[in-house]
Amino acid sequence: MKTRISLILTVSVMLLLMVFCRSGKTGDKTNTPEYVTDKFLFHLNKLEFEEAKQYGTESTVNMLSLLASLVAFVDDQGPPEPVSVVISHCDIQDNIAVCHYTSNGKADKIELLKINDKWLVNLEKESFAPPKINAE
């Protein structure tokens, strides 16, 4: 009887350890610089400024509002052409990440900040040049 209880306890502990170890490795994939960059550029490419704002800092939200008003003022061409964006890697140092990507063969990078444990794209008007996602 003791052997049976011991075996059940051992198996239970091993299963719990496997679950805890596995959950630590998978983590929240939606809160990585790569994921946030991908979603931000995806929505920006489609001119979905409101959706892109959820992946940006306050400064980025302000820049997207400005871009949205400019696009609404001059855009009569319909939806943009799809663009291929490939994120090659992100350099992370403390709460700052720089993600490198290519868009239709052209290399560029974008900065992200970790604010309240959440990665957000950080576009500032002092150094603003819209991310290169144009179809050319």
Q: What is the pLDDT of residues 60-73, one digit of tens each?
A: 999 999 888 888 77
| Domain residue spans of the chain | 27-127
For residue 11, the model assigns a pLDDT of 39
Nearest to 67 by CA among 100, 39, 43, 44: 44
- Give the confidence band of 12 by pLDDT, cuts at 50, 70, 90: very low
Q: Is the pLDDT of residue 18 over 60?
A: no
CATH number belonging to domain 27-127: 3.10.450.50
Q: Report residue 107: phi and psi, to 5°.
A: -85, 145
